[in-house]
Amino acid sequence: MYRQIADAIREKIKSGEYKPGEALPTEAQLREEFSVSRVTVRQALKLLIEQDVLNSVQGSGTYVKENKVNYDMYQYTSFYEKLSHLNVETHSEILAFEIKSPSLTIAEALQIADDERVFYVKRVRYIDDNPATLEETWMPLSLFPDLTYEVMRGSKYEYVEGQKKMVIDRSEQEIIPVLPPEEVVEQLGIAADQPIIKKITRGYLNDGTVFEFSRNYFKSSDYKFTLVAKRSQHF
């Protein structure tokens, strides 16, 4: 029964009925709502506190913790799609939108010649008014000659699939815990000694063409990374 109550509370959080930072109803109110004993209510709350969903403040009450974005490593989705399950507003602030020559490292990552040109886009991604991610992206000019500043204020994947009618197949991703570079400290408003997550991504179309190389810095306070790993069968 306490697990069912915990699930019901999770659903209320997901629907926005219980909002991040707000106090839950009292134990007495929850007891009445679910028609269960005090012990059962306390077990449900204890479970959610242990799972980092709720936070208990002595003498004050039980509060909904701030949402963390669940970054499923097996789903190649956009920033907006990653947040679709949360009741939040999102937007991007463009810091740089340029056509330039790639470094040798970028040219190799995109599998293009050294003298080809690329789009370089730097943007801060916001969850509500919270700067959560600093992203740098490189895309071949030859593939996307009509890429615009306005497109990059939204979703580049919607542009690639919707406007360009290209089929995105897969990505290769590398996750590294690091201390934040100076620019990340400034743009995300974090302490220089706060560890963050650096993610390097190379995206492929269904014909094997590399269409993007990106570098993201995620605030560890806002994101969690999950994956499902299966063990191969040994006979």
Domains and CATH numbers, the chain: 1-64 (1.10.10.10), 69-226 (3.40.1410.10)
Q: List helix spans (H) across 155-228.
A: 156-158, 182-188
Q: Structure tokens of 185?
A: 């400290």
- What are the distances in angstroms from CA 197 to CA 71, 113, 227? 12, 30, 16
Per-residue pLDDT of the chain (235 residues; tens, 9 = 90+): 999 999 999 888 878 788 878 899 999 999 999 999 999 999 999 999 988 888 888 888 898 887 666 666 666 666 656 555 566 678 899 999 999 999 999 999 999 999 999 999 999 999 888 898 999 999 999 999 999 999 999 889 999 999 999 999 999 999 999 999 999 999 999 999 999 999 999 999 999 999 999 999 998 777 777 777 777 776 6
Give the pLDDT score at 72.
61
Give the pLDDT score at 209.
97
Q: Structure tokens of 42?
A: 């306390």
Tell me how far apart the alpha carbons of residues 25 and 29 are, in angstroms, rounded to a whole number.
6
Give the pLDDT score at 68.
63
- Is residue 159 a contact partner of residue 151, using CB atoms and an 8 Å limit? yes
Measured in whole angstroms, the distance separating CA 137 from the mean position of its chain's CA atoms is 16
In the block, residue with structure tokens 């500043």: 149
Q: List helix spans (H) across the chain.
A: 2-15, 27-34, 38-50, 79-82, 104-110, 149-153, 156-158, 182-188
Give the pLDDT score at 20.
78
- pTM of the entire structure? 0.70
